[in-house]
């Protein structure tokens, strides 16, 4: 499995901004194998763009949270929620002590993007 440099951004905000406790530095990207994330995105692309949240329905986060696409690798706590013509993106700060890193960025109100403006890697 090959490793790659991954940067996740919403407008000018780096969601993938990571604090590396080992090197005592901050960077705006991760080094991870992309296959698990690409597989999760390919499996859940329709849900990410069109499946709206239904109260009481189980399994929604499995289709909308990067947490379920990380397969043991470090990814930010990112939730993608389609809302008709728009897609709301929420993320929270997250510490991963076993990897000695943390994602300090947190947004308490969702960002709103047009679904047509999302660019998936090619």
Query: Per-residue pLDDT tens for 29-80?
Result: 999 999 999 999 999 999 988 898 888 888 899 999 998 998 889 899 999 8
End-to-end alpha-carbon separation of the chain, Å? 18
Give the Cα separation of 83 and 105 in Å (integer): 23
Strand ranges for the chain from DSSP E? 3-6, 9-10, 13-14, 18-20, 25-27, 30-33, 77-83, 86-92, 94-96, 101-103, 111-114
Write out pLDDT tens, residues 74-107. 899 999 888 877 788 888 899 999 989 999 877 7
For 99, phi then psi, to 5°, come to -95, -5
Domain ranges of the chain: 3-117
């Amino acid at each position: 499995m090959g490793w790659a440099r991954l940067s996740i951004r919403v407008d000018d905000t780096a969601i993938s901004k990571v604090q590396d406790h080992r090197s005592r530095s901050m960077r705006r990207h991760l080094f991870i194998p992309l296959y698990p994330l690409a597989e999760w995105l390919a499996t859940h692309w329709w849900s990410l763009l069109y499946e709206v949240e239904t109260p009481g329905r189980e399994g929604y986060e499995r289709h909308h949270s990067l947490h379920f696409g990380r397969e043991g690798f470090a990814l930010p706590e990112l939730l993608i929620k389609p809302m008709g013509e728009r897609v709301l993106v929420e993320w929270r700060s997250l510490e991963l002590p076993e990897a000695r890193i943390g994602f300090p960025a947190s947004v308490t109100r969702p960002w709103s993007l047009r679904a047509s403006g999302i660019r998936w890697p090619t």
